[in-house]
Amino acid sequence: MAKQSSVLLIYTGGTIGMIEDAHTGELKPFDFRSLTKQIPELTKFDIHLSAISFENPIDSSNMHPDVWVELAGIVKKNYNLYDGFVILHGSDTMSFTASALSFMLENLDKPVVLTGSQLPIGMIRTDGKENLITSIEIAGTKSKGKAIVREVCIYFEYKLYRGNRTIKYNSLHFDAFRSPNYPTLAEAGVSISYNTNALLKHTGKVLKVHTNLENDIAVLKLFPGISRQITSAILQSPGLKAVILETFGSGNASTEPWFLNEIKQTIAREIIILNITQCSEGKVMQGKYETSSQLKKLGVIGGADLTFESAVAKLMFLLGQKLTKTQIKKKLLENLRGELSN
């Protein structure tokens, strides 16, 4: 007889964990020890479910690398005790957290599923119940005694996505997330259909948890008419170690001499510049047009189809590994956790 799966539910905060106070009408976190009272369907699972909650749940707008370190630590501490993990998280920064955890949890061999909701779980029309129930089912599902999903994911509105491929694109509809350049990992209908070809494969290696992150990163989003003064102020920020350059189309930028000179001087100070596109779909192809070939010649790193969220997380992760600038540049071009297309 197959061993019952076990899943650890981790509540960080966010809309999903809110209920409406009957007297004041205000939304407040509910006690997750009484989770089955809110969602009695959970008692029908053949899954052993445990839940822990942050002592002070946070809105996801206050998400911080320190919280990512705490989450990675919880997974590490409980890794051998559970078959999977479900993290309840506010949707606004969920893609950042999923991306960060994907890099921090090297050789992950169990599912870590982030989910949340657009409406509080205590409301009649909430999307939170389905998101939570299916996330738990995915986290506890095995095939031949082994987990089907072995990576950090986001489940929302009937779809499972690779976490470091997602963006939040809608604040009003239940289908809040998209994975612009990578297929969904699974879709939930009458049954859950897994896209096995899209899932990360088992590495056979021991889990390695990285907790050193550095956030000395700036973002320079280009627009027609951006001034030299503002550009210079960003690129010359004290303590700066890396810049995410959000360019046009397939990685294109101004060829005005002052702009290229600012880029050149920044790279000369051994600051890494990573070029990602402002487009939701597609990728950076430095050198395809003259307006990007200059960036390539100056030493700007082409970010291919990295999402902005994944670019932030990957840079924080690599900067925290105390690698040389050359090693970081090389790693940025490598597909470490499925964040880049081959």
Q: Could you tell me which residues come within 8 angstroms of residue 195 by beta carbon, excluding any fewer than 6 positions away?
A: 183, 184, 185, 186, 187
**Secondary structure E strands in 101-252:** 105-106, 112-115, 142-143, 146-147, 152-156, 159-162, 167-168, 177-178, 186-188, 192-194, 208-209, 217-221, 242-247
Q: Are 139 and 111 in contact (CB under 8 A)?
A: yes
Which residue has tokens 């996801």? 60
Q: Which of 250, 264, 323, 322 is nearest to 295 (CA)?
A: 264
Pure H helices in the chain: 35-38, 65-78, 94-104, 128-140, 228-235, 257-268, 290-298, 308-319, 325-332
Query: Distance (Å, rounded) from C-alpha 170 to C-alpha 231?
Result: 30
Antiparallel, parallel or unpaired: β 112-115 and 159-162:
unpaired
The set of catalytic residues is: 15
Q: Are 272 and 325 in contact (CB under 8 A)?
A: yes
For the chain, how long is the longest CA-to-CA vector?
A: 71
Compute how many other C-beta atoms are within 10 angstroms of the C-beta atom of residue 210: 16
Residue type, 330: K
